Amino acid sequence: MAISLSKGGRISLSKEAPGLTKIHIGLGWDERATDGTEFDLDASMFILDATDKTTSDADFIFYNNLKGAGGAIVHQGDNLTGEGDGDDEIVKVNLKELDDNHPNIHKLAIVCTIHDAEKRSQTFGQVSNAFVRIVNEDNNQEIVRFDLTEDYSTETAMVFGEVYKKGGEWRFTAVGQGYSGGLGAACTIYGLNAG
Ligand SMILES: [Ca+2]
Ligand SMILES: [Ca+2]
């Protein structure tokens, strides 16, 4: 049965799903009533080394750079509206390939940002039903889910969660940490020059 975490909670994916090799990270959201301006959230992933930094632009996965780690990480593409239940944007990760071929990858930060937030005066306060869930790709079983229930009024970038490796196990932390400054702020946190 899937585990539901609250903010700060963590689990071992490897223990919950023995033999786990591939995961599907689904992110979802709905917009609260807005003034009619388009409202587009974007999932992205920062591939981090042991110092929690992204060492090159190639390790920043988003709608303009869909593949990372030699194809072990694949973003399934940009959803422009967030309409409907279920996953709005998805990133698939082959953990076994990371273990075998990319031992330098220690953590995957799952981030969500609001496209053009500043220009459109939008924040996560206008987002409802935000969640991130990890699904075992081999059998489609949801392993863990984190519903972001806090009211975020000024944030335009949000770290939903982190998948990380510790003691040979892949684990997940429900983060729910927001930032103002959108995608640029997220890049700065992880050591990338947003330009
Ligand atoms: Ca989007
Ligand atoms: Ca939705």
The predicted-structure confidence for 18-32, as pLDDT tens digits, reads as follows 999 999 999 999 988
CA of 18 to the centre of ligand 1 (A): 32
Is there a domain that residue 194 lies in?
no
Is there a domain that residue 32 lies in?
yes
Model confidence at 37, in pLDDT bands (50, 70, 90)?
Answer: confident
Model confidence at 194, in pLDDT bands (50, 70, 90)?
Answer: low
Tokens at 56, concatenated? 């090159």
Question: For 60-115, what is each residue's pLDDT tens digit?
Answer: 999 999 999 999 999 999 999 898 899 999 999 999 999 999 999 999 999 999 99
**Contacts with 121 (C-beta within 8 Å, 6 or more apart), sequence order:** none
Is there a domain that residue 42 lies in?
yes
Is there a domain that residue 152 lies in?
yes
The reply to whether the predicted model has a pTM over 0.75 is yes
CATH of the domain at 183: 2.60.60.30
CA of 152 to the centre of ligand 2 (A): 17
CA of 22 to the centre of ligand 1 (A): 23
Q: Which ligand is nearest to the CA of 114?
A: 1
Is there a domain that residue 107 lies in?
yes
Is there a domain that residue 195 lies in?
no
CA of 167 to the centre of ligand 1 (A): 34
Count of the separate structural domains present in the chain: 1
Range of the domain at 180: 3-189
Residue among 36, 121, 33, 27 at smallest CA distance from 78: 27
Q: Which ligand is nearest to the CA of 80?
A: 1
Mean pLDDT of the chain: 94
Is there a domain that residue 87 lies in?
yes
Residue 171 contacts residue 163 (beta carbons within 8 Å): yes
Is there a domain that residue 151 lies in?
yes
Q: Tell me the C-alpha distance between 181 and 19, whole Å.
A: 39
* Separation of CA 40 from chain center: 15
CA of 72 to the centre of ligand 1 (A): 21
CA of 79 to the centre of ligand 1 (A): 4
CA of 35 to the centre of ligand 1 (A): 18
Question: For 139-158, what is each residue's pLDDT tens digit?
Answer: 999 999 999 988 888 999 99
